[in-house]
Each structure stands twice: as C-alpha cells, then as structure tokens.
A and B are shown apart, each in its own frame.
Chain A
Amino acid sequence: MSTPIVGLIMGVIFGTSLVLTGLTNPDKIIGALRLKDFYAIRTVAVFLLVAMLGTWILDLFGAANFNIKPAVILTVLIGGAFLGTGLGLTGFSPATGLASAASGRIDALITVIGMIFGAHVYILIYPSIVVPLEKVLNFGSLTLPQITGSSAASWVVPIFAAGSFALFITRSRKPRDDEQRIKAGDLGMNEEFPDPLSPIPIPRQKGLYLKSDCLKAASVFRRWKNLLFMVMLLCLLLHQASFWLVSTGQVEITENTNPETPVVLGADSLQADQSGNSEKGNAGLTDQAAAPAEESRNLMLFGFDVTFELLTSIVRITNIILVLTSVLYALIMYFGLGISFKGGLGGLAHICGALYMALIIFVLLLPWQNFFGPIAMGATYTPNELVSWCTTDISDTLGMVLFYLRFTGYWALVMLLLLLAQLRSFRWARAIIR
C-alpha cells in the first residue's frame, strides 16, 4: 500500500490536521516549552494516548505495520538535544515547519531551507562521525514490552488510563472569558475586568440573577448530556463490534437455538426470551465443556477469550443501557429547552433540533421487533435475533443487502442521528454560554 498516492493523501490529511489543531503556530510550541500555554502539551498528550491505544488495538487484530527505530542510545540522546535546541529556537518541528511554511510563514520557510542544509550536514558528517557513534550503546530495534517481557497491554492500558486521568483532572475549570464577563457583570465587579473592546453594560435588572442561575443549570445539563452521549456512543460501538465479531465468524455461535422462534414473538415474550436464553446459555456452557477443542477457536482479546456467551451478555446489557440512556438523553434535551426558554438564553433552534433528533433516536432504538415481529424493527437486536440471522443461509444479493442494512445500516443511521443531535446541542451550549 505504500504507493505515492496513499502517501499524498495521508500527507494532506496530516497537514490539514496540523493546521486545524494550531500546532503550526510557533507561539503554541514556545508557550508549551516555557510552560505558559498548555494547549500544545495537552494536544500532543492526547495525540500520543489515542495513537498508542489505536495502534495497540490494530496490533490485536494484526493490522499494524510497525517501524521501530533502532535504539542507539547515544546518538538518540545527541539528536534529541539538537532537535530540542532547534525546537526551542524556532518553535517549529520538521512537520509543523513544513505545514507552517505552507500557511504563509516566511520564518518557517527559512527554517525548511535550513533543514535542507541540515540534511546536507548530516550526510557530510555521516561516514566520519555518525557511523562510529552508532556503534556505541546500540540495542537494536527494541520495544518496551520486549524488554520487560510483558505484553503490550500491560504498558498501553496503564499509560492510557493514567494519562487520561491526569488530563481529566487537570482540565481547565476556569470558565471561559465570556462566561467570566457575564458573571462579573452580574456581581458588579466590572472594574476587575476592564475590557475596552467590549464594554459590558452594568446590569441593573433582577432578571439577570435568574439568567445566571439558568446558565449554571444549563452547564450542568450540558455536562450530563455529554456524559450520556459518551455512554451511548460506547454502547453503540460495542453493539456493532459484537455484530461484526459474530457475523464474520470470529466468534463461534455456541448456542443451539432454533432459528425460527426468536423474531416473531408476541409482546409478552421478553421474559420468555430471557429465561429461554439462560437455559440455552447453560446448554452452550455444557456444550463447551464437552468439546474443549471448540473453545480454542475463540478470539483472544484483551487477555481473555471472547465467547459467544460474553457477547450475548454484552449485547443484552448494551441494549438496556442504550434504551435507558436514550430516554435520559431526550429528557435532558427537553429540560435544556425549558431552561433556555425560561432564562431567555437563546439557542432555541439548536436545542429544538437536538431534542427532535434525540426523540427519533429513542424511537429507533426501541426493540420494536419484540412487539410487532418482522413488521417493524428497532436498531437494537437481541442475541437470538443475531443468531437467527447469522445461521440462516443467505445466498442472494438482496438478502445480503438486507442483512447488512438491518445490522449495520440501521446502526449507522442511529449513529449519524446521535452525532447530529450532539452537534446541534453543542451549538446550543455554545450559543448560550457565549
């Protein structure tokens, strides 16, 4: 896949995201090195954590292409020192220098020219200086898990957890400038925030107390809304992942269900379903005990093997959580609407749209197939349904399309709606907090 066109596309994506993230701004880098501006530090920390986690997950599926640099400690130390000096002097790294030059910085352009000269110097000194140096303390391409003899998980998971926790607890609790100004105006402390550009009228209405109260309430709602969104997102992803694991045959279906029963059941079949399931689950367990050879074909993930029983329980739990959180999500939107209406905070159009979408999500998520059979379907599926779909032979194209539409297309629709709802409500939050 290492064709030029892939390289070009990846480069375009990387360059675009460098500009979007503002790391091309040398002030951000210098501010970070001087420990005055933590934006770049936090960004790079998140960058590392996400990339580390993603690479580890890719590696679990065997899809990661590693390129581990040799650990020549001495030259790496010297090189790091040179790079650090260059970084501290200019505020550009090679990548951001390129991107920054492309966005019009003359100094970055000069830095890039300097880099070409630097490459030349490196080539000139390579035979006489670098080659002997590289023989000192050369450990070869080693990774930390290889040295300690532990699995990559024991490195990635603690680092990710600790890093995210540190980032989370050190996040800025300071309200944004605009929020501060509103608060300042409200408490009559306008003198402390003199801002000639935007004179805030000193408020005299009592309505402002109500307004600031509503603002606080709205920010509480916003926080809970974001939490619920994250939960729903996680559940949806788990749901979809378990579908893919089963449908691609990574996980053996061990339950011996008969494929006719599950979908077309009456409204009161939920409990029957559950009890039937548990029996079947037991049957599956005994099956496995009888045939341990089958167990070894299961997928190993995160250190323990993923059995079909585990997946069914995951699907059931995520079903419950999804339906409940979608109700709460819609309710929070509703209360947010009420608050911004009562307090005159604005952003009504956004929150109305978000409320509507949250309601649609709720309606789509309900397991309608349990009430109406195949007439109407919800985005959530029960394990039995999954088994029945996966075990029936689908040979024609239409059947395949229907199959993926039901499990993935429907899911994608809900996902899209969820993201849209979150986007709308984010706009609402931004509109009222500004």
Chain B
Amino acid sequence: MEESNSQLRHPAPHRRTGNSENGNAGLTGRTHPLPWWAAGILLGLVQVLAIALVKPMGVSKQFVVADARVLERVAPEYSENHPLLSNEQNKKFGYGWWFNIGIVLGAFLAALHLRAWKVRTVSAWWQRNHDAPVLLRLIAGFCGGVLLLLGAGLAHGCITGQFISGWTQLSLSAIPFTITLFGFGMLVAYLVYPKAPSRFRREE
C-alpha cells in the first residue's frame, strides 16, 4: 500500500524535469515553466511598469539605430542626406538600446538559472517537417529575420512595439497590424510547418 502510494504520488520522477529545455525535452517542446495566466500577468505587469517609468516597450527600432550608427561612420555623406538617418533620434544609444541589451542579459541569466541554456539549432516543428534540418533552418531564420525587421520598420514597430504596445494604448494602428500579422503568420506557418510534431497527434 505504502509503496503504491508513493508511486502514485510521484508517477515518474525522471519526467518531472522542471523545465522544457532539459534533456531532449527541447525537441518535444513539451512543458513550460509558468502556467499561462501567471506568464501573462507577469508580462503585463512588466509592460505597465515600463509605461509608468518611461514609455511602452519596443525592440525593433534599436536595430535601425545600430545600423544608423554604423552608416554614420562608414558613409557620413549618405547618412546626412538620408531622411531617416539624419534624424537625431536615430543616432543616440539611449534607453531603448540599453533595454535591448537588458533583454539579452536577462534572458541569458534566466536561461542559466533555469538550466535551460543549451546550444540548439532546430525546433521540434522544424524537425518534424523538414528532413535537412540545420542549414535550411538557419537560412530560413536569416530570411525571416530580414523580413521581421523590414516589416517592423514599415509598421513603425515590431510585435512588442506595435501589437502589444499598440493594443495596450488602444491605438488605431494596432488593428490593421493585427489582421495582417496573424493572417500571414498563420498562412506561412501552415505552408512551412504542415505536419504537427508527435505530441499533438494521438500517439502518446
């Protein structure tokens, strides 16, 4: 009786690894450290804090700023006549730049703390859908990155800056942004990742 009790209470100690990135769990994408509501409340409070202290969060603009700084060194003449680069706001590393550095730092420390820091190249969905995973994944990642920042520039903000902060402040621009973001996102995800990894099929 006692033994079966303990086994029931701890059905599989070796599977309770605590976070998703341990062992091969990174390839199954199985668990997540926080329940969804706690995660959402945490992120929401971070945004509220940011609005109370400085301004709504935004990430993508600093990529342009960094590029502007480089171009200022490399081609000063070009950047002087450029309508975007000549703007003083795009020349200095201020709050936003350090915000991005903070994201990298915080994520690194958190990953170390959760023992989730692990070199990985493919995700579970990619593994499931594509036979030649690594190189293609990196190329896709690069193209995706170019598209992400191009889109962020055109839309005056990335997903954090336009979608989250836009809805947070109830700005008009968030509505068309949301429509195309999720429309194209779901379409492309459907085309690129047609097959679901095993945990979503009724095998387990």
B132 interface hit (Cβ, 8 Å): no
Residue in A21, A24, A114 whose beta carbon sits within 8 Å of that of B43 in the complex? A21
Also in contact, A6 and B84, with CB within 8 A (given A72-B156, A85-B184): no
Whether A83 contacts B107 in the complex (CB less than 8 A), given A37-B200, A76-B177, A119-B67, comes out as no
Cα(A8)–Cα(B192), bound, Å:
36
The one of B11, B32, B47, B164 in contact with A178, judged by C-beta atoms closer than 8 angstroms, is B11
A366 in the interface (beta carbon within 8 A): no
Candidates B8, B11, B103; contact of A15 at CB < 8 Å: B103
Contacts of A97 in B (CB 8 A): 145, 148
Type the 1/0 row for A1-36, where 1 means its CB is closer than 8 Å to any CB of B. Answer: 111111111111111111111111111101101111
Q: Which residues of the partner chain B approach A82 to less than 8 Å between Cβ atoms?
A: 147-148, 150-151, 154-155, 184
Known: A30-B193, A71-B173. A21 touches B42 (CB 8 A): yes
**Quick check: is B18 within 8 A (CB to CB) of the other chain?**
no
| B114 neighbours in A (Cβ, 8 Å) | 19-20
A348 to B182, CA, bound (A): 47
The reply to whether B149 and A116 form a contact with Cβ atoms under 8 Å apart is: yes
Q: Are A51 and B181 CB-contacts (below 8 A) given A42-B36, A99-B104? A: no
Q: How far is the CB of A346 from chain B (nearest CB, A)?
A: 5
Bound-state CA distance A295–B204 (Å) is: 66
Residues 143-192 of A at the B interface (beta carbon under 8 Å): 143-145, 147, 152, 155-156, 167, 178, 181-182, 185
Contacts of B1 in A (CB 8 A): 205, 207
**Residues A54-99 near B (CB distance < 8 A):** 54-55, 58, 63-73, 75-95, 97-99
Q: Does A130 contact B (CB under 8 A)?
A: yes
Q: Report the minimal beta-carbon distance from B63 to chain A, rounded to whole angstroms.
A: 4
Q: Contacts A84-B180, A100-B107, A118-B148; is A30 near B33 (CB within 8 Å)?
A: no
- B40 near A121 (CB under 8 angstroms)? no
Which single member of B14, B63, B140 contacts A119 (CB below 8 Å)? B63
Q: By DSSP majority rule, is chain A's interface helix, strand, loop, or mixed?
A: helix
Q: With an 8 A cutoff between CB atoms, is A394 at the interface?
A: no
> Given that A10-B54, A21-B32, A48-B44 are known contacts, is A127 also in contact with B154, CB under 8 Å in the complex?
no
A283-323: contact bitstring with B at CB < 8 Å (1 yes, 0 no)?
00000000000000000000000000000000000000000
Instruction: Determine the distance from Cα of A407 to Cα of B5 in the docked complex, in whole angstroms.
Output: 47
Q: Determine if A91 and B125 form an interchain contact, defined as CB atoms under 8 angstroms apart.
A: yes
Given contacts A76-B156, A86-B148, A88-B184, contact A11 B167 (CB under 8 A): no
Residues of A within 8 A of B58 (CB): 67
Return chain B residues, CB-CB under 8 Å to A103. 21, 107-108, 110-111, 116-118
Q: How many A-B residue pairs have CB under 8 A?
A: 564
Say if the beta carbon of A327 comes within 8 Å of chain B: no
Partner of A69, one of B99, B110, B122, B161: B161
Inter-subunit contact A73/B176 (CB<8 Å)? yes
- Check if A44 is an interface residue, CB within 8 A of chain B: yes
Q: Determine the distance from Cα of A97 to Cα of B111 in the docked complex, in whole angstroms.
A: 14
Q: Are B110 and A16 touching (Cβ within 8 A)?
A: yes
A89 touches B138 (CB 8 A): no
> What 16 new A-B contacts, CB under 8 Å, besides A10-B46, A201-B7?
A33-B189, A34-B186, A39-B32, A43-B39, A44-B40, A50-B43, A81-B184, A84-B186, A93-B148, A98-B107, A104-B120, A116-B66, A118-B147, A118-B149, A119-B149, A142-B173
Query: A-contacting residues of B (Cβ < 8 Å)?
Result: 1, 4-5, 7-12, 14-16, 20-21, 29, 32-34, 36-37, 39-60, 63-64, 66-68, 71, 82-85, 93-111, 114, 116-125, 137-138, 140-162, 164-173, 176-193, 196-197, 200, 204
Nearest 10 Cβ contacts at the A-B interface = A11-B102, A114-B145, A46-B40, A50-B44, A79-B155, A82-B151, A118-B149, A15-B106, A88-B188, A84-B184
> What are 11 A-B pairs with beta-carbon distances under 8 A?
A5-B98, A8-B101, A9-B102, A52-B170, A71-B171, A80-B151, A116-B63, A123-B64, A123-B84, A185-B8, A434-B9
